[in-house]
Amino acid sequence: MENFKIEIDADGIAVVAFDVPNRSMNTLTGAVIKEIPLLVEKIQSDDAIKGVVLTSGKATGFCAGADLADMASGMLSGAGDLQAAYDAGWALNGAFRQLETCGKPVAAAINGLALGGGLEFTLACHYRVVENNPKIQLGLPEIKVGLFPGGGGTQRLTRLIGVQTALMQMAEAKSWRPNDAKSAGVVHEVVEIGQSVEAAKAWIKNGGKAVQPWDEPKFKIPGGGPYHPMGAQVFIMGNAILRKQSYGNYPAVLNMMKAVYEGIQVPIEAGLRIETRYFIKTLMTPQAQAMIRSLFLSKQELDKGAVRPAGIPKSDPKKVTVIGAGMMGAGIAYVQAMAGIETILIDQTQEAADKGKQYAVDLVQKRVSRGHMTQDKADGILSLITPTTDYDQIKGSDLVIEAVFENREIKATVTKNAEAQLAKGAIFGSNTSTLPITGLAEASVRPEDFIGIHFFSPVDKMMLVEIIMAEKTSDEALAKALDYVLKIKKTPIVVNDSRGFYTSRCFSTYLMEGMALLEEGFSPVAIDNIGRSTGMPRGPLEMHDDVALDLSYKIAKQTREDLGDAYVPSAGEGIVATMVEGGRYGRKNGKGFYDYDQKPKVIWPGLAELAPTTKGDIFGESPEAFAAMDEMKTRLLYRQAVEVARCWAEGVIDDPREGDLGAILGWGFAPWTGGPITFIDQIGVAKFVETADRLVAAYGPRFEVPQLLRDMAAKGETFYGKFSKAA
**Read out DSSP for 327-341?**
HHHHHHHHHHHHTT-
pLDDT of residue 57: 96
What is the model's pLDDT at position 621? 65
Which pLDDT does position 68 carry in this prediction?
Answer: 83
pLDDT band for 73, please (50, 70, 90 cuts): low
- In this model, does residue 79 exceed pLDDT 60? no
CB under 8 Å to 694, separation ≥6 — which residues? Answer: none
CA angle 141, 142, 143 (to 5 degrees): 95
Mean pLDDT of 532-543: 96
49 — pLDDT class (breaks 50, 70, 90): very high
Three-class secondary structure of residue 186 per DSSP:
coil
User: Does position 78 have pLDDT exceeding 60, yes or no?
Assistant: no
Over range 369-377, report the average pLDDT: 91
User: In this predicted structure, what is the pLDDT of residue 586?
Assistant: 95
Residue 223 has what pLDDT? 87
Is there a catalytic annotation at residue 466? yes
- For residue 372, pLDDT over 90 is answered with no
What are the structural domains of the chain?
4-284 (3.90.226.10), 319-502 (3.40.50.720), 513-622 (1.10.1040.50)
Average pLDDT over residues 98-106: 97
From 35, 189, 466, 542, the catalytic residue: 466
* Nearest Cα residue to 366 out of 329, 380, 358, 132: 358
Q: What is the per-residue pLDDT for 627? A: 87
What per-residue confidence (pLDDT) applies to 77?
A: 54
Mean pLDDT confidence for 490-499: 94
Give phi and psi for 124, each to the nearest 5: -80, 0
Over 70: is that where the pLDDT of 74 sits?
no
Q: Are strands 51-56 and 106-110 parallel, antiparallel or unpaired?
A: parallel
Nearest residue to 431 via CA among 316, 332, 561? 332
pLDDT band per the 50, 70, 90 thresholds, residue 618: low
Of 262, 263, 265, 241, nearest in space to 253 by CA: 241
Q: How confident is the model at residue 233 (pLDDT cuts 50, 70, 90)?
A: confident
Cα first-last separation, the chain: 29
The DSSP secondary structure of 99-134, one letter per residue, reads HHTSSS-EEEEE-S-EETHHHHHHHTSSEEEEE--T
- Asked if residues 46 and 85 have their Cβ atoms less than 8 Å apart, the reply is no
Question: Of 628 and 235, which is predicted with more confidence?
Answer: 628
> Is 520's pLDDT higher than 80?
yes
Mean pLDDT of 612-630: 78
pLDDT at residue 692 greater than cutoff 70: yes
Averaged pLDDT for residues 259-279: 96
pLDDT: is 498 or 5 the higher one?
5
The answer to whether 64 touches 115, Cβ cutoff 8 Å, is yes
pLDDT at residue number 3? 97
Residue 60's pLDDT is 85
Closest among 457, 476, 475, 473 to 465, alpha carbons compared: 457
| pLDDT given for residue 617 in this prediction | 61
Whether 704 shows a pLDDT value over 70: the answer reads: yes
Tens digits of per-residue pLDDT, 651-691? 999 999 999 999 999 999 999 999 999 999 999 999 999 99
Average pLDDT, the chain: 94
Given a cut of 90, is residue 465 above it in pLDDT?
Answer: yes
**Nearest alpha-carbon partner for 483 in 302, 316, 307, 662:** 316
* pTM exceeds 0.75 for this model: yes
Is residue 620 predicted with pLDDT exceeding 80?
no
**What does the DSSP assignment read for 232-285?**
HHHHHHHHHHHHHHHTT--HHHHHHHHHHHHHTTS-HHHHHHHHHHHHHHHHTS
Mean pLDDT of 66-86: 72
pLDDT beyond 90 at 725: no
What is the band of 446 on the pLDDT scale with cuts at 50, 70, 90?
very high
